[in-house]
Amino acid sequence: MKKQVYAAALTTAMLGTLLAGCGGGGGTEGAGSNSGGTAGTAGGEKVTLKMMHLWPDGSNSAQNKLVKQIIDDYQAANPKVTIQTEVLENEQYKNKLKVLSASNNLPDVGFTWAAGFLEPYIKGNMFTPLDDLLKGDLNGKFVSGTTEAYAIDGKTYALPVELNIVPVYYNKEIFKKYNLTPPATLEELKTVIKTLTDNGVTPVALGGKDAWTSSFWYMYLAERIGGAGLLDKSIASGTFTDPGLIQAGRTMQELVDLKAFQKGFNGLSNDEAKSEFMNEKAAMYAMGTWEVPNYTTNPDVPQAFKDKIGFFKFPTVEGGKGTVNNWVGGPGVGLFVSEKSKVKEEAKKFVSYFVQKWGENSVTKAGIIPATKVDTAAVQLPPMFTELLSELNKADKVTLYVDVQMKPGASEEHHNLVQALAGKALTPEEFAKKQEEALKAGK
Amino acid sequence: MHKVMSNPKMIALYVLPSLLLILGIIYVPIILTGYYGLMQWDGVSPMTFIGLENYKTLLQDAAFGNSMLHSFLFAVLSTLSLSVYMLIALVLSGQIKGANLLRKIYLIPMLLSSVAIAQLWLKIYHPSSGILNSFLEALGVEETPDWLADPDIVLTALFVPILWQYAGFYILIYYAALKNIPSSLIEAARIDGANSLQIALRIKLPLAAEVIKVTVVLAVVGSLKYFDLIYVMTDGGPNGASEVMASYMYSKAFRSFDFGYASAIGFFLLIVCLVMTWGIRRLTATKDTIEYS
């Protein structure tokens, strides 16, 4: 009898904890959403904004500090607002964003990528349009062509903070040693490559395992041969039959045959390739302007190395339709406001503030080109930066990275195909045909 | 207390929490995966029911066919390599000098995490500065292979570190099984004039049969769902040359945003693993169990 009582007591205790657990969880959740709701409507009370970003301290410490600074300033100016941040590394960030939106739990403010990446989130009604900000506070602040990448069906769903273009960096000292000058045409580039390989120097550092790096070369060749806008048109119409696209594939393979890229590039990551360039084993490296801090402001890189690095615009191709002032690039990440956010107006205000502050500070403090316009006369900048900014102002066109333009399925296939093209596992014709099939699949 | 434990209600009460956990963490997701496999879903926007369409696509998907082929090839290879591990275990369990030290040497790779192993082998395979190619160059080879960039060799290059990684695990299992065999049996055989080979083939192996069966299942199922080292070292590339079923599933889910299709792959993978396990157990079923006496 005693034992039974004991057992019953145990049972109630266990059930009790179970129930308490559930009840407790439900209770706090309810309280949380309540306070958020009232704050949003009343406006005079405390507001908590949740924000997610992808610049962990360490790997992107400049950006990380800048975000912290902006948030501190905003909180100081708006004492009733508290901003909670969650920071994840790139790949994890993408995965978490997906999981959160599937469970309807997106943070109030966060970062997204443009075009193809954005589309599913818009179809799922996850982000709120920010056109009123663009017409109001932020009117005319952005470099033209940057916010468009975040627009779907005439509405803009995120505001970019960065703008990147892809120059070819080169090691002046290696060039000088072999009497080379930055090539202006493809033929000159080939001569440079031949001279370097003859002397046992790797001409170009390329991490083909991360296929987007090889894609830079393909994109430039396609635009130089087939003319500015060829890629945009081809992707928009879902055709990949233009002779310029096939010719670009052929030229890409010619460069591979010339041993332009480092040995075994298809098995090396971008980081590994980058270290070849940083260790001065390779003479050239085509990469986005996010690398510029390494050649200008980054205190971890020796000044002697920084002084050796210059850049040139991707060479033109004889008989090609493209000009030298057509760049490959595009906005990086942009800020979104969640459609389901309970404090949408506050979130929008913060986004507007963030974008402007970022624009003012990112060049000088973090060495990043913002998507908002920069007055180069007013700020003190490293020469390479000023040159790139003025190049950007002269640009005829900035072609948005094709893998960003395409929908996720076609984009992933593009990565595989570029890898195969560069590895000579596909002919340029097969490459074009398969790319078209992937575009037509509509995924 | 005995009374409490024999009370069905009490049993249910004590089993229930862990049962709920297992159901919630393992079985419910499996069922959900099967359910998502019937959907067209990018993971974010609303899903649409498309029936068995994903599975039909799966059967015609050449890239998936390739990755499945690679997985099966890997399963066969790791099963075959079990014999080598057994051989090593037989040698170690005999009276050889330094057996203890050797056992530890074999076991160390198992203590390293997959990512560490991947980083290590990435360095070994590095096309220009890796020790493998440096060694070949020293031998006078002019065109050294691009281990991870050449579609013809990338699979072999990947299987080597994976088999090496798990060698210690299987050797340890075999070693334990062999050490469990009563020494009286072996001594008796020796007195009867049996040599070491005869003892190994007629006494040790039959007595370790049950353990061998288990390891075959482990090796096959483990290979079919293998993912981590491949993900870190090649990411399935170049152009799918080293893609296996699990890495293909990951790429479909998180790169192509095709969650429905990825779920279908996941469910298919589960069924393949179940069928293989059942098949292996069927093939190796023995009626008489061996007992030491």
pLDDT digits (tens, 9 = 90+) for A4-30: 545 445 444 444 444 333 333 333 333
For residue A91, the chain B residue with the least C-alpha distance is B254
Distance to chain A for B54, nearest Cα, Å: 13
Mean pLDDT lowest among A32-41, A146-155, A221-230, B283-292: A32-41
At A310, which helix (H) or strand (E)?
strand A309-312
Residue A389: name the closest of A397, A215, A381 by CA: A381
- C-beta separation of B283 from B79 below 8 A: no
pLDDT digits (tens, 9 = 90+) for A376-392: 777 778 888 888 888 88
Which helix or strand (DSSP H or E) is residue A321 part of? none
- The per-residue pLDDT for A300 is 85
Strand A109-112 and strand A47-53: pairing? parallel
pLDDT of A294 > 90? The answer is no
Q: By C-alpha distance, which of A94, A55, A91 is closest to A71?
A: A55
Rounded distance between C-alpha atoms, residue A60 and residue B223, angstroms = 37
Task: State yes or no: pLDDT of A56 exceeds 90.
Answer: no
Percent of chain B with pLDDT over 70: 96
Taking CB atoms and an 8 Å cutoff, what residues of chain B touch A414? none
Residue A302 at interface with chain B, using a CB cutoff of 8 Å: no
pLDDT in tens, B48-82: 999 999 999 999 999 999 999 999 999 999 999 99
Q: What is the mean pLDDT of chain A?
A: 86
Residue A105 CB: number of other CB atoms within 10 A?
Answer: 11
Q: A116 to chain B: which residues are within 8 Å by CB?
A: none
* Nearest-by-Cβ selection for A98 from B44, B147, B149: B44
Among B14, B44, B47, the strongest candidate for a mutation testing the A interface, having the largest count of A CBs within 10 A, is: B44
Give me the residue from A101, A264, A408 closest to B255, CB to CB.
Answer: A408
Contact B13 A408 (CB under 8 A): no
- Which of A55-59, A439-443, B249-253 has maximum average pLDDT? B249-253
If you average pLDDT over residues A262-275, what whole number do you get? 92
Distance CA A217, CA A313 (A): 12
CA distance B225 to A170: 44
Cβ pair B127:A419 closer than 8 A = no
Cα B107 from Cα B169, distance rounded (Å): 7
Strand A159-160 with A334-337, pairing: antiparallel
DSSP one-letter code for A147 = G
Q: What is the pLDDT of residue A367?
A: 76
| Beta pairing class for A47-53 and A81-87 | parallel
From A4-18, A234-248, B190-204, the region with the lowest mean pLDDT: A4-18
- Measuring CA to CA, how many Å separate B293 from each of A169, B174, B181, B183, B290? 77, 21, 11, 12, 9
Which chain B residues have a beta carbon less than 8 Å from that of A95? 254
- Predicted confidence at residue B291, as pLDDT, reads 60
Residue-level pLDDT at A17: 41
| Domain boundaries defined on chain B | 37-283
Say what the pLDDT of residue A44 is.
Answer: 61
Domains plus CATH for chain A?
A: 8-162+332-374 (3.40.190.10), 165-328+399-441 (3.40.190.10)
Question: What's residue A119's pLDDT?
Answer: 86
* Minimal-distance CA residue of chain A relative to B149: A267
**Distances, alpha carbon A224 to alpha carbons A109, A204, A230, A430, in Å:** 39, 19, 9, 21
Q: C-alpha angle with apex A359: A355 to A362, nearest 5 degrees?
A: 115
Q: Is A263 on the interface with B (CB under 8 A)?
A: yes
A417/B13 CB distance under 8 A: no
Express as a percent the part of chain A with pLDDT over 70. Answer: 90
Chain A: closest CA distance from residue B116 (Å): 16
List, as own/partner pairs, every contact residues B22-31 make where C-beta atoms lie below 8 angstroms and the sequence separation is at least 24, other chains included.
B30/B267, B30/B270
pLDDT of residue A19: 39
Residue type, A273: A
Q: How far apart are alpha carbons A402 and A400 in whole angstroms? A: 6
- For residue range A161-195, list pLDDT tens digits in order: 988 899 999 999 999 999 999 999 999 999 999 99
Residue B252's nearest CA partner among B36, B71, B69, B48 is B36
Nearest Cα residue to A439 out of A243, A232, A246, A252: A232
Mean pLDDT calculated for residue range A131-137: 89
Query: Tokens 């030290």, residue?
Result: B101
Contacts of A102 in chain B (CB under 8 A): 43-44
Which pLDDT tens digit goes with each residue over A395-433?
888 899 999 899 888 999 999 999 999 999 999 999 999
Nearest CB to B237 within list A266, A408, A409: A266
Number of H helices, E strands in chain B: 16, 2
Which residues, including other chains, have CB under 8 Å from residue A164's CB and lie 6 or more apart? A288, A289, A290, A329, A330, A331, A332, A369
Distance from CA of B24 to the nearest CA of A (A): 15
- Reported confidence tier of residue A48, pLDDT bands at 50, 70, 90: very high
Q: B239, B242, B249: best mutation site toward chain A, by most A Cβ within 10 Å? A: B239
| Look-up of token digits 């691009």 | B146
Q: Do A416 and B128 touch (CB under 8 A)?
A: no
Stretch A229-253: mean pLDDT: 94
Pick B239's closest partner by Cβ from A262, A408, A425.
Answer: A425
In tens, the pLDDT along B212-267 reads: 999 999 999 999 999 999 999 998 889 889 999 999 999 998 888 889 999 999 99
CATH class entry, domain B37-283: mainly alpha
Rounded mean pLDDT, B151-156:
92
Q: Where are the beta strands (DSSP E) in A73-161?
A: 81-87, 109-112, 151-152, 155-156, 159-160
- What is the residue whose two structure tokens read 């990512």? B115
Q: Of all helices (H) and strands (E), which one includes residue B87? A: helix B62-93
- Residue A191 tokens read as 């001569």
pLDDT of A11: 47
Please give the DSSP secondary-structure letter assigned to residue A169: E
In the structure, what pLDDT confidence band is assigned to residue B289 with cuts at 50, 70 and 90?
low
Q: For chain B, say whether A94 makes contact (Cβ under 8 Å).
A: yes
In Å, how far is B279's CA from the nearest CA of chain A?
35
Q: Which two tokens stand for residue A217?
A: 């070369």
Q: According to the model, what pLDDT value does residue A36 have?
A: 38
SS3 content of chain B, % helix, strand, coil (to 5): 75, 0, 25
Confidence of residue A104 (pLDDT cuts 50, 70, 90): confident
Q: Is the pLDDT of residue A37 over 90?
A: no
Residue of B57, B256, B259, B263 to mutate, testing the A interface (most A Cβ within 10 Å of its Cβ): B256
pLDDT of B271 > 70? The answer is yes
